[in-house]
């Protein structure tokens, strides 16, 4: 069934997933355009993985409408999966096989010819910077290498759509940056990326557009920049007070900023001019132990929307 070029690659209306009486995804609407890089941002348990599994056509929807590349996962799951690449939250590599064998057998699952798989495997090993480890067992590889192998594996069928569930969770900063660089290259090649994350910086780096999910629902949608403009101020002044001072702060910061958030360990002043807000605090005779003025991030958007921090 050839889909219309202007049709969204993924189309979801009132998409719902229930497990017994528990509702994991509660009537969400979204569209993902071809070539776009789209993110689901939210804390653990927000319904991101359930949504990804429905898109990946391995988990039937409970209610609503879902179309992936114009096809219905309920009836054409296998045909959808043939054109999608999946990077699951936990690595599902075969530890009994070598790095290269993992790629080759995965290509076979798609029914690709052996010669073609060999050509693609060499390219993908290069892309994932694993050429030198091609003949090694998977088990001793570092977390970052396993992740890169999982991504390489997900590309063996040259997918139009790549689903990445928490692609860099648990990796050290260097490994994360290397992975982001690889994903950015894929995006430039026109692969549609859909990813879930609870890392703000990851969403800001990789996503053209994202939805914020909380408790099974979508609470906001837009580009990272739009969301920050809509739900936060340009800058934030982060103040840390000593424990005894923090107790008696009630009301003493009113009017200094557009919005004040009291967190257990710090106070956030939302203002377009963070420096001015910080000096106003000093003028009122308050002496914070540390002051940090920074730009607003998606973390602030999430805090505003849900009243909670993203990583709890």
CB of 78 to another protein, least distance (A): 5
Round to whole Å and give the CA distance between 291 and 240: 7
Whole-number Å distance between alpha carbons of 287 and 220: 36
Q: Which two tokens stand for residue 90?
A: 């936990």
Binding mask 227-266 for another protein (x = CB under 8 A): ----------------------------------------
CB-nearer residue toward another protein: 142 or 309: 142
Applying CB under 8 A, among 16, 37, 51, 59 the residue interacting with another protein is: 59
Q: In the range 25-54, which residues lie near another protein by CB under 8 A?
A: 53
What is the pattern of x (binds another protein, CB under 8 A) and - over residues 174-213?
Answer: ----------------------------------------
- Asked if 58 is part of the footprint of another protein (rule: CB under 8 A), the reply reads yes
How far apart are the C-alpha atoms of 124 and 242, rounded to whole Å? 53
Task: Report residue 95 as tokens.
Answer: 């530890």
CB of residue 307 to another protein, shortest distance in Å: 30
Minimum CB–partner distance for residue 134 and another protein (Å) = 15
Interface with another protein, residue 219, by CB under 8 A: no
According to CB under 8 A, which residues from 69 to 98 bind another protein?
77-79, 81-82, 84, 86, 88, 90, 92-97
Helix (H) or strand (E) holding 162: strand 161-165
- The interface with another protein within residues 101-130 (CB under 8 A) comprises 101, 105-106, 108-111
Pairing mode of beta strands 63-68, 10-19: antiparallel
- Contact between 220 and 305 (Cβ < 8 Å): yes
Site size toward another protein (CB under 8 A) is: 29
DSSP 8-state class, residue 12: E
Q: Report, in Å, the least distance between residue 178 CB and another protein.
A: 23
- The HSE-up count of residue 279 (CA atoms within 13 Å, CB side) is 3
Binders in 5-24 for another protein, by CB under 8 A: none
Query: Is residue 102 within 8 Å of residue 120, measured between CB atoms?
Result: no
Minimum gap (Å) between residue 18 Cβ and another protein: 13
Nearest to 221 by CA among 51, 55, 13, 38: 38
What whole-number distance in Å separates Cα of residue 85 and Cα of residue 68? 13
d(CA 240, CA 257): 16
60 contacts another protein (rule: CB under 8 A)? yes
- What is the rounded CA–CA span in Å between residue 307 and residue 300? 10
- In the complex, the smallest distance separating the C-beta of residue 25 from another protein, rounded to whole angstroms, is 13
Tokens of 178: 């290397």
Considering only residues 131 to 160 of the shown chain, the ones binding another protein according to CB under 8 A are 153, 157
Q: Whose CA is closest to 298, among 207, 186, 218, 237?
A: 207
Which residue matches tokens 């990445």? 164
When the beta carbons of 115 and 283 are compared against another protein, the nearer one is: 115
Report, in Å, the least distance between residue 293 CB and another protein. Answer: 44
Closer Cβ to another protein, 59 or 197, answer by number: 59
286: DSSP letter = -
Which residue, 111 or 243, has its beta carbon nearer to another protein? 111
| Interface positions with another protein (CB under 8 A) | 53, 56, 58-60, 77-79, 81-82, 84, 86, 88, 90, 92-97, 101, 105-106, 108-111, 153, 157
């Amino acid at each position: 069934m050839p889909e219309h070029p202007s049709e969204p690659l993924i189309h979801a209306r009132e998409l719902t997933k229930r497990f017994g009486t528990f509702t994991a995804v509660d009537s969400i609407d979204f569209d993902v355009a071809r070539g776009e890089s789209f993110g689901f941002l939210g804390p653990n348990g927000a319904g991101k993985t359930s949504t990804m599994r429905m898109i990946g056509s391995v988990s039937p929807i409970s209610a609503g409408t879902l179309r992936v590349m114009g096809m219905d996962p309920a009836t054409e799951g296998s045909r959808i999966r043939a054109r999608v690449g999946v990077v699951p939250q936990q690595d599902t590599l075969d530890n009994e096989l070598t790095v290269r064998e993992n790629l080759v057998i995965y290509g076979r699952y798609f029914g690709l010819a052996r010669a073609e798989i060999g050509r693609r495997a060499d390219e993908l090993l290069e892309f994932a910077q694993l050429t030198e480890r091609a003949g090694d067992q998977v088990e001793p590889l570092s977390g970052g290498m396993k992740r890169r192998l999982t991504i390489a594996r997900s590309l063996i069928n040259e997918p139009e759509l790549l689903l990445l569930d928490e692609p860099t969770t648990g990796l050290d900063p260097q490994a994360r940056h290397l992975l982001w660089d690889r994903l950015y290259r894929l995006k430039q090649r026109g692969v549609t990326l859909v990813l879930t994350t609870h890392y703000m910086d990851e969403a800001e780096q990789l996503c053209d557009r994202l939805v914020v999910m909380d408790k099974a629902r979508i609470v906001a949608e837009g580009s990272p920049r739009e969301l920050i403009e809509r739900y936060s101020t340009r800058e934030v002044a982060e103040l840390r007070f000593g424990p005894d001072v923090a107790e008696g702060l009630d009301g003493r910061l009113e009017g200094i900023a557009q919005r004040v958030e009291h967190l257990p360990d710090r106070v956030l002043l939302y203002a377009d001019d963070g420096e001015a807000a910080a000096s106003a605090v000093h003028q009122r005779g308050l002496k914070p132990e540390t002051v940090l003025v920074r730009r607003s991030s998606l973390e602030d958007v999430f805090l505003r929307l849900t009243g909670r921090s993203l990583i709890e």
